[in-house]
Amino acid sequence: MNLFLSQITAIVWKDFVTELKTRELFSAMFIFALLVILIFIFSVNLSIVKASEVGPGILWVAFLFSGTLGLNRSFVLEKENGCLMGLMLAPADRTAIYFGKLISNFVFLTVMELFILPLFMIFFNIDLLEHLLPLLLVIFLGTLGFCALGTLLSSLASNLKTREIMLPILLYPLLVPIVIGVVRMTGQILAGEPLSEMMNWIGLTASFDIIYIGVSIMTIDHILEE
Amino acid sequence: MVENPKPDPSVIEVRQLRKEFGVLKAVDGVSFDLKRGEFLSIFGPNGAGKTTLIKILTGLTRPSSGTARVAGYEVEEGIPEMRREIGVISHSPALYADLTPMENLIFFGKMYGLEHPQESALAVLEDVGLAPRRHDRVRTFSRGMLQRLSIARAILHDPSILFLDEPFTGLDIHASNVLKEHLQTLHNKKRTILMTTHDVSCGLEMCDKVALQVMGRFAFFEDVKDIDKENFEALYFDAVRNNQFTMGIRPH
């Protein structure tokens, strides 16, 4: 296998083995997302507002806030014991490090989201099964953009003492186009609209995914350097 | 782009190297050569710029000015071929605490593109005497064991040059002796070694060349056979006490 790909695979393998042993990332993200949904279910009167109107916002708040926890932890693990230095000393392209961490973050967050979806369906009494494929596409696009930008910014924030505060401050404003896109699309899907009605939003979200990945490839060298 | 000449995999050449952080000169005009198989010990008080010098030579940070070639490659370019030739042991072990030694070394073996990472990992673990603990989590290891595992990680890809940043810090006498033995073995195998340390007797015992770095500059750089060890110790303690050279030695 090409060295670049095998280095990416090695980073993903290492993150998976670590997570399987500790279950730190998944459990923290899952419990946080569940708590967010529970808080909203008790604060929103579903007999007055429609679940399909408030649901998309609540779902993505749960995904993004819990995902931020995961992103913070992801690069902190690399900083512990100077592991990031070990990675930087390896003859690996910095983009291999970025893509390895991006794929790990993306898979962990997606798995958590797949566990949260059935609970969301039960709590809000929404039938997601009939809209499952379009919804999964929207979740894919949103999670990819979030992880693409989040992985870059968490590597930047990991060098700061105030990283837990800095990551959301840096991340959320830049993520606004994606958040607007995925919340709108999720709302339209729950309202029963077909995918063809939301091609503009799909295009916008996919474009920002590409922009975030492109910017990350161009800047990761400088960000990882001390 | 300057083309690199044919790389000599075991030479360090440093010319007028400088690194400034604002007004602070962490490395201030350092120049020296290290030939294949030589062992250089660098002493100096805390904050003298020793770690910064190693970070520059290993491509972890860029110099403000000057040039450095490691294994024939310009370090400023930070090219992967240079990183293949070096191994680094620092204060931090650079090991994942929740993985086992085998998992850590297989991971780094894959990052270095080794053909048989599993076999290489087992071989170096046997070298450092940690093969019986290869399936235990690194989190359960003592400082001495971590340092031995750190050596295993650094020599996994058989580098020709080793950089050691205060490797004896926090080790007990037994662990220090084990580390010394490993370094001696690597020295005998003609590995070029650059080590920073505060342990004068240990540093002088193992090295061929000795340097004293004070306030970013090499105040002293000699063959170890040409120096009076007792006099050097006095110079070193004077430098540590005053963070400058006051005993009339001409800066290098």
Q: How would you class A58 by CB atoms within 10 Å of its CB: exposed for 0-12, middle for 13-18, buried for 19 or more?
A: buried
CB contact under 8 A, A90 and B86: no
**HSE on the CB side for B4, CA within 13 Å?**
19
Interface with B, mutate which of A7, A13, A81, A97 (most B CBs under 10 A): A81
A81 CB neighbours in chain B (<8 A) are: 92-97
Average pLDDT over residues B94-121: 95
Nearest by CB to residue A89, choosing from B81, B83, B91, is: B83
**Do residues A184 and A203 lie in contact, with contact meaning Cβ atoms separated by under 8 Å?**
no
Q: Is the pLDDT of residue B34 over 80?
A: yes
CB contact under 8 A, A91 and B81: yes
Tell me what pLDDT residue B91 has.
Answer: 82
The residue count for chain B: 252
CA distance A73 to chain B (A): 14
DSSP B38-77: -EEEEE--TTSSHHHHHHHHTTSS--SEEEEEETTEEGGG
Interface with B, mutate which of A7, A14, A79, A220 (most B CBs under 10 A): A14
Q: How would you class B38 by CB atoms within 10 Å of its CB: exposed for 0-12, middle for 13-18, buried for 19 or more?
A: buried
Q: How far is CA B32 from CA A16, A51, B64, B220, B226, in A?
A: 44, 72, 17, 11, 17
Q: How far is CA A91 from CA A127, A197, B79, B106, in A?
A: 50, 47, 8, 15
Determine the Cα–Cα distance for residues B13 and B29; give it in Å rounded to an integer.
Answer: 13
Tell me what pLDDT residue B81 has.
Answer: 86
CB contact under 8 A, A14 and B96: yes
C-alpha distance across the termini of chain B, in Å = 32
Q: How confident is the model at residue B169 (pLDDT cuts 50, 70, 90)?
A: confident
CB contact under 8 A, A82 and B94: yes
Q: What is the DSSP letter of B132?
A: G
Q: Is the pLDDT of residue B1 over 50?
A: no
Selection from A84, A64, A30, A15 nearest residue A167 by Cα: A64
Residue type (1 letter), A128:
L
B153 CB neighbours in chain A (<8 A) are: 86
B187-245 confidence digits (pLDDT tens): 998 899 999 988 888 888 889 999 999 889 998 888 988 888 888 888 788 777 776 55
Tell me what pLDDT residue A1 has.
Answer: 62
CA distance A125 to chain B (A): 40
Tokens of B156: 């996994």
- Nearest chain A residue to B99 by CA distance is A18
Neighbouring CB atoms inside 10 A of A166's CB total 18
Q: What are phi and psi of A62, to 5 degrees?
A: -60, -45
CB contact under 8 A, A9 and B108: no
Q: Is the pLDDT of residue B6 over 80?
A: no
Determine the Cα–Cα distance for residues A171 and B171; give it in Å rounded to an integer.
Answer: 42
Cβ–Cβ contact B51 with A under 8 A: no
A5 CB neighbours in chain B (<8 A) are: none
Tell me what pLDDT residue A49 has.
Answer: 84
Nearest by CB to residue A81, choosing from B80, B93, B108, is: B93
**Do residues B75 and B12 lie in contact, with contact meaning Cβ atoms separated by under 8 Å?**
no
**Do residues B102 and B175 lie in contact, with contact meaning Cβ atoms separated by under 8 Å?**
no
Nearest by CB to residue A6, choosing from B91, B103, B110, is: B110
The helix/strand/coil state of B26 is strand
Tell me what pLDDT residue B252 has.
Answer: 46
Q: Is the pLDDT of residue B2 over 60?
A: no
**Do residues A128 and A186 lie in contact, with contact meaning Cβ atoms separated by under 8 Å?**
no
Least confident of B15-24, B71-80, B104-113, B152-161: B71-80
Strand partners, B220: B212
Q: How far is CA B139 from CA A90, B136, B146, B190, in A?
A: 22, 8, 9, 33
Q: Is the pLDDT of residue B106 over 80?
A: yes
Cβ–Cβ contact B161 with A under 8 A: no
Which domains are delineated in chain B? 12-242 (3.40.50.300)
Cβ–Cβ contact B213 with A under 8 A: no
Residues of chain A with pLDDT under 70: 1, 226
Q: Is the pLDDT of residue B57 over 80?
A: yes
- Nearest chain B residue to A22 by CA distance is B98
C-alpha distance across the termini of chain A, in Å = 31
Cβ–Cβ contact A127 with B under 8 A: no
A86 CB neighbours in chain B (<8 A) are: 94-95, 108, 153
Q: How far is CA B201 from CA B129, B164, B182, in A?
A: 25, 16, 17
Nearest by CB to residue A91, choosing from B60, B84, B137, is: B84
**Do residues B40 and B210 lie in contact, with contact meaning Cβ atoms separated by under 8 Å?**
yes
Rounded to the nearest 10 degrees, the angle between the axes of helix A51-79 and helix A94-124 is: 150
Nearest by CB to residue B90, choosing from A10, A85, A91, is: A85
Cβ–Cβ contact A1 with B under 8 A: no
A10-39 confidence digits (pLDDT tens): 999 999 999 999 988 899 999 999 999 999
Interface with B, mutate which of A19, A79, A80, A83 (most B CBs under 10 A): A83
DSSP A31-65: HHHHHHHHHHHHHS-TTTS-HHHHHHHHHHHHHHH
Q: Is the pLDDT of residue B3 over 60?
A: no
Tell me what pLDDT residue A112 has.
Answer: 96
Nearest by CB to residue B107, choosing from A10, A22, A81, is: A10
CB contact under 8 A, A21 and B98: yes
Q: How confident is the model at residue B78 (pLDDT cuts 50, 70, 90)?
A: low
CA distance A23 to chain B (A): 11
Tokens of A18: 């670590």
Q: Is the pLDDT of residue B99 over 50?
A: yes
- Alpha helix stretches (DSSP H) within B166-228: 173-188, 200-206
